[in-house]
């Protein structure tokens, strides 16, 4: 019995860390067309987000930013620039702490929905796109998502840029993994990611692919 319980708990933990498994939450992992979507987590960052926006503007690329509530609160002008320049946005919880997967009830709901409300206040529309920190999902997180009709966005290409810097060789390898409809996970708080962005964009275009966004979110 103890062995079975241990196996069950290991499975639950593993699935909670694998958003692509769609075990607890049905997430969007690919675009519904042939475009590629770049996504940036954990912003806005006071130094790096403006640099990323400059590159995207220069290259004529629209991307999606999953923003942390406390950072939105601290840097509203950067958040507004993201919106004004036509990029897509989604919530990434208010606090984004390592205990996110252990939160329950009102504490969990508050953490998720506070960031969503900040975004809605800025855009004047109900913002429904959401990406859980670390890709963690579990029954409690699924309940909040379902109750609020949020649309969870995962990824098809994970860069691991917070663990290993994106140098030229790694960017070339990354471009090789990107195909039509891919959703690419990046983090703008990482300096090397900002520096590698022009090479990444050029590499995707050299493969004959274009960039795009998810359709405008609407509550069903």
The residues assigned a catalytic role are: 41, 187
Please report where in the chains the tokens 């208010």 appear, as a residue: 94
Q: d(Cα 67, Cα 154) in Å, to the nearest integer? A: 14
- Phi, psi (rounded to 5 degrees) for 38: -85, 135
Please report where in the chains the tokens 């699935």 appear, as a residue: 15
Angle between helices 76-84 and 48-59 (to 10 degrees): 10
Q: d(Cα 32, Cα 51) in Å, to the nearest integer? A: 29
Q: d(Cα 202, Cα 206) in Å, to the nearest integer? A: 6
Contact status, residue 53 vs residue 85, Cβ threshold 8 Å: yes
Helical segments of the chain, H only: 2-16, 48-59, 69-74, 76-84, 105-123, 139-147, 168-177, 191-206
């Amino acid at each position: 019995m103890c062995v079975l319980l241990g196996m069950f708990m290991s499975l639950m933990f593993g699935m909670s860390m694998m958003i692509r498994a769609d075990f607890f939450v049905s997430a969007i992992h690919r675009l519904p067309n042939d475009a590629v979507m770049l996504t940036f987590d954990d912003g806005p960052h006071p130094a790096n987000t403006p640099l990323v926006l400059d590159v995207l503007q220069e290259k004529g690329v629209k991307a999606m930013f999953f923003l942390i509530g406390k950072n939105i609160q601290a840097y509203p002008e950067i958040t507004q620039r993201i919106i004004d320049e036509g990029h897509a946005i989604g919530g990434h919880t208010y606090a984004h702490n390592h205990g996110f997967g252990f939160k329950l009830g009102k504490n969990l709901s508050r953490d998720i929905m506070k960031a969503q409300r900040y975004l809605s206040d800025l855009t004047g529309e109900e913002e429904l796109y959401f990406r859980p920190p670390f890709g963690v999902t579990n029954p409690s997180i699924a309940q909040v998502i379902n109750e609020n009709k949020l649309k969870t966005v995962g990824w098809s290409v994970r860069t691991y840029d917070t663990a290993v810097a994106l140098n030229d060789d790694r960017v070339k390898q990354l471009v090789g993994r990107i195909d039509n409809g891919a959703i690419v996970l990046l983090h703008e708080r990482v300096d090397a990611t900002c520096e590698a962005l022009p090479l990444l964009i050029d590499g995707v275009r050299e493969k004959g692919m274009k960039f795009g966004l998810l359709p405008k979110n609407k509550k069903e």
